[in-house]
Structure 1
Amino acid sequence: MTTFSKKALLTLSALTLAMGTSFGALAESVKSVAVTAIVEHPALDSARDGVLDALNEAGYSEGKNLKWQYQSAQGNTGTAAQIARKFIGDQADAIVTIGTPSAQAAVAGTKRIPIVFTAVTDPVQGQLTPSWEASGTNVTGVSDVLELGKQMELVKQVVPEAKRIGIVYNPGEANSVAVVEALKEILPQYDLTLVEAAAPRSVDVGSAARSLVGKVDVIYTNTDNNVVSAYEALVKVGNDMQIPLIASDTDSVKRGAIAALGVNYHDLGLQTGRIVVRILEGEKPGDIKPQTSENIQLFINLAAAEKQGVTLSEELIESATEVIR
């Protein structure tokens, strides 16, 4: 009886050890990716979906070997900080930040957990990385920066007689301020002057646009998150007052802008997700230099052009990636 008990005990111990090792290995094989966005709108949502698609392509699947979390700050920087603290406390394997304010909140909260930003115009201006080279820190990512010269060439193609260009932006968003300052420098080359209208909150976008009526010949919008999240308010002013709207976010064309020369945000998300995969598989974020997108597309909305009093050239229409009629 005693011998049997010892054998049974040894067998049970071995089984327990094996099961514990098995469960431990299973737990280690599940990777946690936490995604935070400053606000929800079509472009940022496409970037988020692209990240998940890239993870799926690499063999990471929710409910199997991937724990996926997503939260939006709904445009509130205080909420963005709370979300960042939660994800840091959860000890995620990687935190993906969509938009500059969400990235800034996460970077301020941890120097250890890998942070991969996306849909950030200028990570250096936003103080996310010290330069465009590999940072040596826990931060890397993909920028949606656009060449402003090409943007202004598009403005001139759509509204050749334009002299005064308006911009609605959030003065509290570092990347938007950087775009405004860059525009002031290059606009004289295109015989254009800039008229600014501040929209610190999404609810301010409509009134900011109305303040430009009678002062501008065209309104240009960058990828400012407040503006893009409330783009319909801008479209109403453009349509009612026949002020042409030109965007840098192609999804805004589907919502009522005449034209946009911008990145494909789903592709941007795919590019970001592939960086996340590299990190999950052992690379250090500080060894990966920030990237930009080379997939620039021209979208045109003919119905919006008619409503806003613009006739587009056949040459411009034929050069578009997508034409919305």
Structure 2
Amino acid sequence: MKKIFTVFLMFMMISAVTGCSSSGKEGKEEGVHKVAIVQQMDHASLDEIRIAIEKELEAKAESLGITVEYKVFNGQNDSSVLNQIGSQIVSDGYDVIIPIATLAAQSMQASAEEEEIPIIFAAISDPVGAGLVESLDKPNSMVTGTSDYLDASQILDMMLAQNPDTKTVGLLYSKSEDSSELPIKEAKEFLDSKGIKYIEKTGTTTDEISLAVDSMIGKVDAVFTPTDNTVAAAEITIAEKFIEAKIPHYTGADSFVRNGAFATCGVNYTDLGTVTADMAVDILQGADVKTYPVHVMEGGIITVNTETAEGIGADYSMFKEMASKVVEVVTSED
């Protein structure tokens, strides 16, 4: 059967959606599976996930001989925009919604709950804590998806292995990001157990994150950031400050590292996007979303920015004994 692939970028002007949307459920073409992909904001990790979802939807449609039409919406990290996107998606009668990141998933859940449209989220660190599912094994709602749960202790173990003399750690994150809450809590517990001091600095915009970094310089030996979208958007800028100050920045995703952070240990986001799309197709083919377990992606891949390592004078040879794979990258704005 013929496949239909359409991409619609949703920015701040909601009227653009209205002008290009379909006429709603009654106007839906027979046999067409309509999928809405809702990306919370622009940055490397979320872009990587979205691209993988698109490619896998296309591949699955080809192999199964089904017709899939998808549109991509972007909420620009604005809850009001995301809510309006959700309303438009419900009005247009989509069969499945794939939100990427926590705020996008929560907004889609609120918008689509009454209509019982299946939601297959991507890259939610703590789906239970975010109120999306009752449990990972049995969601018991119209929501399931993939989790990029971050093992904060594993990354902090890397930090201490690289520099056993670490005395003070900076915790850099945004309080507006639900995905940061659990790993920051776990990081504090880990550091407390080791008798290591920590300094918390937060921000809700790129400028605020940059100022938070300035206030850490000279006070910390290393910095930890979870899979925080706000910090991710600022990484290409703040990485230069950390390098100049010789401070290693450990983060929750490899996209940070490709933008200049020192190292991470986490999941492969292309794989995560692929699995998310596979789950969505399963639902389109009749699987019960309420009993479909959340897929927690395996981590264990350490990524190191070799340019940053050279810039801060950091030896990372010990990481080879701490992970199944060590990937070396250089700084890129992609």
Residue ranges of structure 2 left out of the alignment (5+ in a row): 1-25
Rounded to whole Å, the distance in 2 between the matches of 1:92 and 1:74 is: 21
Of Structure 1 and Structure 2, which has the larger fraction of its residues in helix?
1
Q: CA deviation at 1:41?
A: 1.0
Q: CA deviation at 1:60?
A: 5.2
Q: CA deviation at 1:221?
A: 1.3
Rounded to whole Å, the distance in 2 between the matches of 1:117 and 1:156 is: 33
Tell me what 1:316 maps to.
319
Answer with 189-198 or 148-157: which moved more. 189-198
Q: CA deviation at 1:311?
A: 2.6
Q: CA contact under 8 A between 2:250 and 2:263: conserved in structure 1?
A: yes
Rounded to whole Å, the distance in 2 between the matches of 1:272 and 1:190 is: 37
Give secondary structure in 2 for the equivalent of 1:59: helix
Answer with 206-215 or 92-101: which moved more. 206-215
Q: CA contact under 8 A between 1:159 and 1:218: conserved in structure 2?
A: no
Q: CA deviation at 1:295?
A: 4.5
Question: Structure 2-normalised TM-score?
Answer: 0.84
Rounded to whole Å, the distance in 2 between the matches of 1:85 and 1:312 is: 48
- What are the within-5 Å matches in structure 2 for residues 124-273 of structure 1? 124-273=128-277
CA offset digits 1:144-199 (Å, max 9, x no partner): 00222211111112222112111221111222122222222222233423211111
Query: Which one has the largest radius of gyration?
Result: 1
Q: CA contact under 8 A between 2:184 and 2:226: conserved in structure 1?
A: no
Q: Which of 287, 293, 298 is equivalent to 1:294?
A: 298
Question: Structure 1-normalised TM-score?
Answer: 0.86
Return closer, same or farther for 1:316/1:185 CA change in 2, 3 Å cut-off.
closer
CA offset digits 1:175-230 (Å, max 9, x no partner): 21222222222222334232111111233221111111122110111111111112
Tell me what 1:108 maps to.
110
Residue ranges of structure 1 left out of the alignment (5+ in a row): 1-23
Return closer, same or farther for 1:169/1:60 CA change in 2, 3 Å cut-off.
farther
Rounded to whole Å, the distance in 2 between the matches of 1:163 and 1:277 is: 49
CA offset digits 1:287-320 (Å, max 9, x no partner): 101111014311112220121232333x435864
Tell me what 1:12 maps to.
none
Answer with 256-265 or 173-182: which moved more. 173-182
Tell me what 1:29 maps to.
31
Give secondary structure in 1 for the equivalent of 2:181: helix
Rounded to whole Å, the distance in 2 between the matches of 1:213 and 1:95 is: 42
- What are the within-5 Å matches in structure 2 for residues 12-27 of structure 1? 27=29
Rounded to whole Å, the distance in 2 between the matches of 1:190 and 1:300 is: 24
Give secondary structure in 1 for the equivalent of 2:128: coil
Tell me what 1:85 maps to.
87
Answer with 222-231 or 175-184: which moved more. 175-184
Give secondary structure in 2 for the equivalent of 1:210: helix
Rounded to whole Å, the distance in 2 between the matches of 1:133 and 1:317 is: 33
Q: CA deviation at 1:73?
A: 1.3
Rounded to whole Å, the distance in 1 between the matches of 2:197 and 2:134 is: 32
Q: CA RMSD in A?
A: 2.0
Rounded to whole Å, the distance in 2 between the matches of 1:316 and 1:179 is: 21
- What are the within-5 Å matches in structure 2 for residues 44-63 of structure 1? 44-59=46-61
Q: CA deviation at 1:110?
A: 1.8
